[in-house]
Amino acid sequence: MKNPSLISITDFSKEEILRIMELAADFERQPQQRRPDGHRLLEGKVIATLFFEPSTRTRLSFESAINRLGARVIGFSDANNTSVSKGETLHDTISVITSYCDMIVMRHTLEGAARYASEVAGVPVVNAGDGANQHPSQTLLDLYSIKKTQGRLDGLRIMMVGDLKYGRTVHSLLEALSHFNTEFTFVSPAELRMPAEYKRLLDERGLKYRELTELEGNMADEDIVYMTRIQKERFNDPMEYERVKNAYVLRREMLEGVKDTMKILHPLPRVGEIATDVDNDPHAYYFEQVRNGVWARMAIICYLLGAKK
Ligand code: CP
């Protein structure tokens, strides 16, 4: 591979996904790993984080991972403070920054922007979210969280709730879980159903799914309930967003009768779809899930840079 990048979760085979799980577990056990010469694993490297769209978790957990590995970070969290505001193209921006760093982590509003950047860049690119398309590093931390809480990835029942049309995290996660004999439940308003292309993939792989519009009373058999935010920024029609914005609110009393081992995940941020009375419930896992992002992202960076055997 000339420049291994992570643009879509489909860029990784099942074996590569499992390797990332192993590396993440290794970093969680031992975050401060060193090379035989005593230096930290990525000492001397520079990694650029380019965020053309807002982020809290993805940018800061990547930067935490980069710092823990001993590399240095350059980049921006607001493209308005860069020459993009003067009209510089994505092509030219990436062509320039590729000279300054060993890897690019990029979030962009446009679907396909990360793939394009990887074709222009002379260094590996990690897609930190492109429009409503893909968010593969989130998927790897989600898978790590699922494996940690359930002890396995194979043969689980996964419920995805909320904005299944525009939610890039559920698209990437579905593709990854399709390697693992997963049974899916999709809960969404009719307007925000899982797109046909993803359901086609499940059909091709012989995996079962059901589609519901009600959350309450339907969680009893699920191993994971993956809540998502309705993606306001992706709607063309504000009235359509107003109609669906409060479609689901998970409250503590709705968890009666669920499996003891069931965990609630959410990529965050939440904007009301999980009531705060759930936060202290033993099923809630979303704040621990966030921490897993550091281990997963350390694993991704080292894997792409070939920094760990
Ligand atoms: N989960 C996630 O992508 O969060 P941020 O938008 O804060 O990065």
- Examine the domain organization and report whether 168 and 277 are in the same domain: yes
Q: What is the pLDDT of residue 146?
A: 98
Asked if pLDDT for residue 119 goes beyond 70, the answer is yes
- Atom of ligand 1 lying closest to residue 129 CA: 3
Position 203 in a domain: yes
Asked if pLDDT for residue 1 goes beyond 50, the answer is no
Supply the DSSP symbol for 194: P
Residue range 205-209: mean pLDDT, rounded = 98
Question: What distance in angstroms lies between residue 136's CA and the mean position of ligand 1's atoms?
Answer: 12
Pocket test of ligand 1: the residue of 57, 142, 144, 273 to mutate, having most ligand atoms within 8 Å of its CB, is 57
Pocket test of ligand 1: the residue of 51, 53, 56 to mutate, having most ligand atoms within 8 Å of its CB, is 56
- Atom of ligand 1 lying closest to residue 61 CA: 8
Q: Which domain holds residue 126?
A: 9-135+293-305
Q: Counting Cβ atoms within 10 Å, is residue 22 exposed (0-12), middle (13-18) or buried (19+)?
A: exposed
Amino acid letter, residue 283 = H
Q: What's the CATH code of the domain at 26?
A: 3.40.50.1370
Q: Tell me: the pLDDT tens digits for 141-175? A: 999 999 999 999 999 999 999 999 989 899 999 99
Q: Three-class SS of residue 170?
A: helix
Position 73 in a domain: yes
Candidates 267, 257, 309; CA nearest to 289 is 267
Q: Report the number of distinct structural domains present in the chain.
A: 2
CA contacts within 13 A on the Cβ side of 187: 23
Q: Tell me: the pLDDT tens digits for 233-281? A: 878 888 888 888 888 999 999 999 999 999 999 999 999 999 999 999 9
Residue with the smallest CA separation from ligand 1 atom 3 is 58
- What percent helix, strand, coil does the chain show, rounded to 5? 40, 15, 40
Yes or no: say if 164 and 186 are a contact pair by the CB < 8 Å rule: yes
Yes or no: say if 239 and 216 are a contact pair by the CB < 8 Å rule: no
Structure tokens at 39: 């230096």
Q: What is the pLDDT of residue 232?
A: 83
Residue range 176-205: mean pLDDT, rounded = 97
Residue with the smallest CA separation from ligand 1 atom 4 is 57
> What lines the ligand 1 site, CB under 6 Å?
55-58, 129, 138, 267-269
- Examine the domain organization and report whether 46 and 140 are in the same domain: no
Q: What is the percent of the chain where pLDDT is above 90?
A: 90
Q: What is the DSSP string of 276-297?
A: GGGTTSTTB-HHHHHHHHHHHH
Q: Counting Cβ atoms within 10 Å, is residue 236 exposed (0-12), middle (13-18) or buried (19+)?
A: exposed
Q: Tell me: the pLDDT tens digits for 14-30? A: 999 999 999 999 999 99
The model's confidence at residue 91, banded by pLDDT at 50, 70 and 90, is very high
> What is the distance of C-alpha 96 from the center of its chain?
27
Q: Which helix (H) or strand (E) holds 63?
A: helix 57-68
Asked if pLDDT for residue 2 goes beyond 90, the answer is no
Residue range 176-183: mean pLDDT, rounded = 97
- Atom of ligand 1 lying closest to residue 56 CA: 7
Q: What is the mean pLDDT of the chain?
A: 95
Position 268 in a domain: yes
Yes or no: say if 171 and 188 are a contact pair by the CB < 8 Å rule: no
pTM metric for this prediction? 0.95
CA distance 289 to 149: 10
Q: What is the percent of the chain where pLDDT is above 70?
A: 99
- Examine the domain organization and report whether 111 and 95 are in the same domain: yes
- Atom of ligand 1 lying closest to residue 58 CA: 8
- Examine the domain organization and report whether 269 and 146 are in the same domain: yes
Question: What distance in angstroms lies between residue 80's CA and the mean position of ligand 1's atoms?
Answer: 20
Asked if pLDDT for residue 306 goes beyond 70, the answer is yes
Residue range 35-64: mean pLDDT, rounded = 97
CA distance 7 to 259: 35
Q: Three-class SS of residue 158?
A: strand
- Examine the domain organization and report whether 140 and 102 are in the same domain: no
Q: Three-class SS of residue 214?
A: coil
Question: What distance in angstroms lies between residue 118's CA and the mean position of ligand 1's atoms?
Answer: 21
Question: What distance in angstroms lies between residue 192's CA and the mean position of ligand 1's atoms?
Answer: 20
Question: What distance in angstroms lies between residue 37's CA and the mean position of ligand 1's atoms?
Answer: 36
- Examine the domain organization and report whether 110 and 151 are in the same domain: no
Residue with the smallest CA separation from ligand 1 atom 5 is 55
- Atom of ligand 1 lying closest to residue 268 CA: 1
Q: Which residues contact 132 (CB under 8 A, 6 or more apart)?
A: 111, 165, 166, 167, 168, 171, 231, 234
Position 187 in a domain: yes
Pocket test of ligand 1: the residue of 51, 55, 226 to mutate, having most ligand atoms within 8 Å of its CB, is 55
Question: What distance in angstroms lies between residue 35's CA and the mean position of ligand 1's atoms?
Answer: 31
Position 228 in a domain: yes
Residue with the smallest CA separation from ligand 1 atom 1 is 267
Asked if pLDDT for residue 308 goes beyond 90, the answer is no
**Residue corresponding to tokens 């999980």:** 274
